[in-house]
A and B are shown apart, each in its own frame.
Chain A
Amino acid sequence: MVGDATIDISEARKQLNSLDKRLAEGEPIIYVTRHNKRAFAIVDIECLSAILDTLEIMSDPESFNTFQQSLADIREGRIHDHEDVKRELG
């Protein structure tokens, strides 16, 4: 699970310039609260991208099956050296 740092919206306004530093320092998601309830979140772009990439593979049955098939390739030794792949397909 990703982090659960929270900040009030008025405080977030004041600290806007330093929030990117907090993201860079290991809090990939900062929840912003309004009236003590989470209203939205500020998310490190790399973190968001990683989550969306993960979801894209996990939520598409075809992609997920292909990924599983690839893991089976590793287990069963169906692997190819990068230099050979380059020669063949590059």
Chain B
Amino acid sequence: MERRVSIQWTTTAKSQLAALPLKVRRGVLRKADELKSCADPKQAYKPLRGPLQGFYRFTFGRFRAVHSVDEECLANFDVLVHVRITFIAVGQRKVRDRKDIYRIAEKLVDTGLISLNDVGDDMHDASHDT
């Protein structure tokens, strides 16, 4: 059984890539090349979470690319791994002020990354401390 990796870009991700400076484009493309030589892209790259479960990411400097990985079993029992690059996040996360910590916490709850029970217990305890 052989595994082959096919890499594709969505039109949207390609447009995002096209908007980047040449040096960055080449760096991102080189990183994408590494996906091809990877035996199992699902294991080699860190998965995103919550609503973006099923997507993975790779980075080049301060740029992050998001991709999906789907496996297709062929008639000869070979496996074709489809990697589709869907999004490039430009820039680095900014250092945010304290208020944003609460905004992020709300998002964590909204997206199911942490449960309301976790937060609720602590909030309940905190309300009794005051």
**A25 interface contact, C-beta 8 A:** no
* Closest chain B CB from A13 CB (angstroms): 21
| Given A54-B48, A67-B86, A82 and B10 contact (CB-CB distance below 8 Å) | no
| Given A53-B64, A82-B7, A82-B32, A66 and B87 contact (CB-CB distance below 8 Å) | yes
**B51 interface contact, C-beta 8 A:** yes
- Interface majority SS (helix, strand, loop, mixed), chain A: helix
Contact between A85 and B9, CB atoms less than 8 A apart: yes
Contact between B11 and A54, CB atoms less than 8 A apart: no
Instruction: Count contacts between A and B, CB distance < 8 Å.
Output: 120
CB contact between B111 and one of A4, A58, A70, A81 (< 8 Å): that residue: A58
CB contact between A53 and one of B13, B26, B33, B89 (< 8 Å): that residue: B89
Contact between B8 and A50, CB atoms less than 8 A apart: no
Other than the known A53-B48, A80-B10, what 18 A-B pairs have Cβ atoms closer than 8 Å? A1-B114, A2-B114, A38-B121, A51-B50, A54-B50, A55-B108, A55-B113, A57-B66, A58-B111, A67-B66, A70-B86, A73-B12, A80-B9, A82-B6, A82-B9, A86-B33, A89-B29, A90-B26
Spell out A's residues near B (CB within 8 Å). 1-2, 4, 37-38, 46, 49-59, 63, 66-67, 69-71, 73-74, 78-82, 85-86, 89-90
